[in-house]
Amino acid sequence: MTDVQTTLTEEPTLTGPAPQEAIHHRPTWADRTRSVLKHILLIVASLVMIYPLLWMLASSLRPTELIFRTPGLWVNDLYVQNYTEGWYALSYPFGQYIINSFIVVVGAIAGNLFACTLAAYAFARLKFRLRGLWFSIMLLTIMLPFHVVIVPQYIIFNQLGFVNTFVPLILPKFLATDAFFVFLMVQFIRGIPRELDEAARIDGCGHWKIFSRVMLPLMGPAIATTAIFTFIWTWSDFFSPLIYLTEPYAYTVPVALKSFLSATEGSNWGPMFAMSVVTLIPLFLVFLFGQRFLVRGIATTGGK
Amino acid sequence: MSAISELSTVHRVKAKTPEEKRLRAKEAARDNTAGYLFLLPWLIGLVLIVAGPLIASLYLSFTNYNLLQAPQWIGLENYARMLDDPRLLQSLKVTFIYVIVGVPLQLIVALAIAMLLNEGMKGLAFYRSVFYLPSMLGASVAIVLIWRQMFESDGLVNQVLRLFGIPATTSWIADPKYALWTIVLLHIWTFGSPMVIFLAGLRQIPGMYYEAASVDGASHWAQFRKITLPLLSPIIFFNLVLQIINAFQAFTQAFVISNGTGGPADSTLFYTLYLYERGFGQFQMGYAAAMAWLLVVIIAAFTAINFFFSKYWVFYGD
Amino acid sequence: MAINRRQFLIGAGGLAAAATTMGLGACAPGAPSGSQGGGEQGGATTLALAWWGNPTRNKNTEAEIQAFQQANPNITLAGQPGDFASYWDKLATQTAGGQAPDIIQMDMAYISEYGNRGALLDLEKNGADTSKFIEGTVESGKINGQLVGVNAGINSAVIVANPKIFEKAKMDVPDDKTWTWDQLSEVAAEVASKAGVPFGVVYLFGGDPMFGAYLRQNGKELFTEKDVGFEPADAQAWFDLMMKFQKAGGIGTPQQISEEGSPGGGKPIDQSAIVLGKAALQYQNSNQLEALNAASGESLKLLRAPSLAGKATERKAWYKASMLWSASAKTENPEAAVAWINWFANTKEAVDIDKAERGIPPNAELEEYIRPKLSPAQQEVAKFIADIKPELANTPIAPPPGGGKLAEIMFRYETEVLFGRATTAEAAEKFVGEVKSNLTV
- The string of DSSP codes covering C29-54 is TTSPPSS-S--EETTEEEEEEEEE--
Confidence (pLDDT) at B265? 92
Q: How far apart are CA A148 and CA A169, in angstroms?
A: 17
Structural element, H or E, at residue B184: helix B179-189
Indicate the number of domains in chain A.
2
Per domain, the residue ranges of chain B are 80-313
Q: Which residue of B has its CA nearest to A143?
A: B296
The model's pLDDT over C40-61, given as tens digits with 9 standing for 90+, comes to: 444 678 999 999 998 889 999 9
Whether residue C412 lies within 8 A of chain B, CB to CB, comes out as yes
Contact: A128, B32; criterion CB under 8 Å: yes
Contact: C94, A154; criterion CB under 8 Å: yes
Least CB–CB distance from A154: residue in C53, C86, C97:
C97
Q: How far apart are CA C65 and CA C59, in angstroms?
A: 10
Contact: C16, A156; criterion CB under 8 Å: yes
Cβ–Cβ contacts within 10 Å for residue C277, how many?
A: 17
C-beta of residue A170 within 8 angstroms of C-beta of residue A107: yes
Residues 175-234 of B with CB under 8 A from A: 189, 193, 196-197, 199-201, 203-204, 206-212, 214, 226-227, 230-231, 234
Residue C28 Cα, gap to closest chain B Cα (Å): 5
Residue C170: C-alpha distances to residues C167, C180, C183 (Å): 5, 21, 17
**Domain C157-316+402-438 grouped into CATH 3.40.190.10:** yes
Confidence (pLDDT) at C10? 44
Contact: B211, A146; criterion CB under 8 Å: no
Strand-strand pairing, C320-327 and C103-106: antiparallel
* Residue with more model confidence, C388 or A262: C388
Residues 20-49 of C with CB under 8 A from A: 20, 23-24, 26, 34-35, 37, 48
- Identify whether residues A126 and A221 lie together within a single domain: yes
* Residue with more model confidence, C266 or B110: B110
What angle, rounded to 10 degrees, do the helices at B124-137 and B141-150 form? 90
**pLDDT tier at B207 (50, 70, 90 boundaries)?**
confident
SS3 A55: helix
Q: Looking at domain C42-155+319-387, what is its CATH homologous superfamily?
A: Periplasmic binding protein-like II (3.40.190.10)
Chains in contact with A, counting 3 or more C-beta pairs less than 8 Å apart as contact: B, C
Partner residues linked to C180 by β-bridges: C307
Q: How far apart are CA A33 and CA A10, in angstroms?
A: 39
- Identify whether residues A164 and A65 lie together within a single domain: no
Q: Is the pLDDT reported for residue C346 higher than 50?
A: yes
Torsion of CA A59, A63, A65, A70, to 10 degrees: -50
**pLDDT tier at A286 (50, 70, 90 boundaries)?**
confident
- Identify whether residues A50 and A174 lie together within a single domain: no
The model's pLDDT over A9-40, given as tens digits with 9 standing for 90+, comes to: 333 333 334 444 444 556 678 878 888 888 88
- Identify whether residues A74 and A108 lie together within a single domain: no
- The mean pLDDT value for C167-182 works out to 95
Q: How far apart are CA C338 and CA C328, in angstroms?
A: 11
Chain C residues in contact with A65 by the CB 8 A cut-off are 270, 294-297
Residue B56 Cα, gap to closest chain A Cα (Å): 7
Domain range holding A200? 96-301
* Residue with more model confidence, A1 or A186: A186
- The mean pLDDT value for B200-227 works out to 87
* Main-chain dihedrals φ then ψ at residue C121, nearest 5 degrees: -75, 140
Confidence (pLDDT) at A23? 47
Q: How far apart are CA A127 and CA A299, in angstroms?
A: 29
- Identify whether residues A33 and A149 lie together within a single domain: no
Q: How far apart are CA C15 and CA B48, in angstroms?
A: 9
* Residue with more model confidence, B253 or A297: B253
- Above pLDDT 70, what percent of chain B? 94
**pLDDT tier at B296 (50, 70, 90 boundaries)?**
very high
Q: How far apart are CA A75 and CA A284, in angstroms?
A: 23
* Main-chain dihedrals φ then ψ at residue C282, nearest 5 degrees: -155, 135
Residue C324: C-alpha distances to residues B273, C82, C225 (Å): 28, 16, 19
**Which stretches does DSSP call E strand in A194-244?**
none
Q: Which residue of B has its CA nearest to A279?
A: B137
Least CB–CB distance from C20: residue in B53, B266, B280:
B53
Mean pLDDT of chain B: 88
Q: Is position A2 within any domain?
A: no
Confidence (pLDDT) at A241? 95
C-beta of residue C248 within 8 angstroms of C-beta of residue C185: yes
Best probe of the C interface among A62, A155, A244, by most C CBs < 10 A, is: A155
Residues 71-100 of A with CB under 8 A from C: 89-91
Q: Is the pLDDT reported for residue C19 higher than 60?
A: no
Chain A residues in contact with B225 by the CB 8 A cut-off are none
**Residue partners of C14: CB distance under 8 A and separation at least 6:** B55
- Identify whether residues A66 and A103 lie together within a single domain: no
The model's pLDDT over C413-433, given as tens digits with 9 standing for 90+, comes to: 999 999 999 999 999 999 999
Contact: C55, A265; criterion CB under 8 Å: no
**How many Å is the maximal CA-CA distance in chain B?**
81
Least CB–CB distance from B199: residue in A5, A145, A294:
A294
Confidence (pLDDT) at A291? 75
C-beta of residue B142 within 8 angstroms of C-beta of residue B259: no
Confidence (pLDDT) at C29? 40
The model's pLDDT over A197-255, given as tens digits with 9 standing for 90+, comes to: 888 888 888 889 999 988 998 888 899 899 989 998 999 899 999 999 999 999 999 99
- The mean pLDDT value for A101-120 works out to 96
Portions of chain C given CATH number 3.40.190.10: 42-155+319-387, 157-316+402-438
- Identify whether residues A291 and A151 lie together within a single domain: yes
C-beta of residue C45 within 8 angstroms of C-beta of residue C75: yes
Contact: B68, C21; criterion CB under 8 Å: no
Contact: A265, C57; criterion CB under 8 Å: yes
Confidence (pLDDT) at C334? 95
Q: How far apart are CA C236 and CA B29, in angstroms?
A: 74
Partner residues linked to C49 by β-bridges: C79, C103
The model's pLDDT over B152-175, given as tens digits with 9 standing for 90+, comes to: 888 888 988 998 988 888 899 999
- Identify whether residues A179 and A296 lie together within a single domain: yes
CA C17 to chain centroid, in Å, comes to: 37
C-beta of residue C70 within 8 angstroms of C-beta of residue C61: no
Q: How far apart are CA B90 and CA B274, in angstroms?
A: 10
Per-residue b/e over C3-13, b at no fewer than 16 CB within 10 Å? eeeeeebeebb
Label residue C43 exposed, middle or buried (CB < 10 Å: 0-12, 13-18, 19+): exposed
How many helices and strands, by DSSP H and E, does chain C display?
16, 12
C-beta of residue C25 within 8 angstroms of C-beta of residue C96: no
SS3 A60: helix
CB-defined contacts B:C, below 8 A: 129
Architecture of domain B80-313: Orthogonal Bundle (1.10)
DSSP secondary structure letter of residue C360 = B
Q: Is position A283 within any domain?
A: yes
Chain C residues in contact with A93 by the CB 8 A cut-off are none
Picking from C90, B45, B116, the residue whose alpha carbon sits closest to that of residue A20 is: B116
Map A70-127 to HEC letters: CCCCCCCCCCCHHHHHHHHCCCCCHHHHHHHHHHHHHHHHHHHHHHHHHHHHHHHHCC
- CATH number of the structural domain spanning residue A111: 1.10.3720.10
Chains in contact with B, counting 3 or more C-beta pairs less than 8 Å apart as contact: A, C
* Main-chain dihedrals φ then ψ at residue C330, nearest 5 degrees: -100, 10
- Identify whether residues A43 and A186 lie together within a single domain: no
* Residue with more model confidence, C85 or C1: C85
Contact: A158, C297; criterion CB under 8 Å: no
Whether residue A236 lies within 8 A of chain B, CB to CB, comes out as yes
Least CB–CB distance from B152: residue in C95, C259, C402:
C259
Confidence (pLDDT) at A7? 34
Picking from C349, C112, C367, the residue whose alpha carbon sits closest to that of residue C223 is: C112
**pLDDT tier at B10 (50, 70, 90 boundaries)?**
very low
Whether residue B42 lies within 8 A of chain C, CB to CB, comes out as no
Confidence (pLDDT) at C24? 59
- The string of DSSP codes covering C266-309 is SS-GGGSTTTTT-EEEEEEEGGGHHHHHHHHSS--EEEPPPBSS
Confidence (pLDDT) at B16? 67
CA angle A35, A36, A39 (to 5 degrees): 90
Q: Give pTM, 2 decimals.
A: 0.89
Mean pLDDT of chain C: 89
Q: Is position A14 within any domain?
A: no
- Identify whether residues A127 and A274 lie together within a single domain: yes
Residue C423 Cα, gap to closest chain A Cα (Å): 32
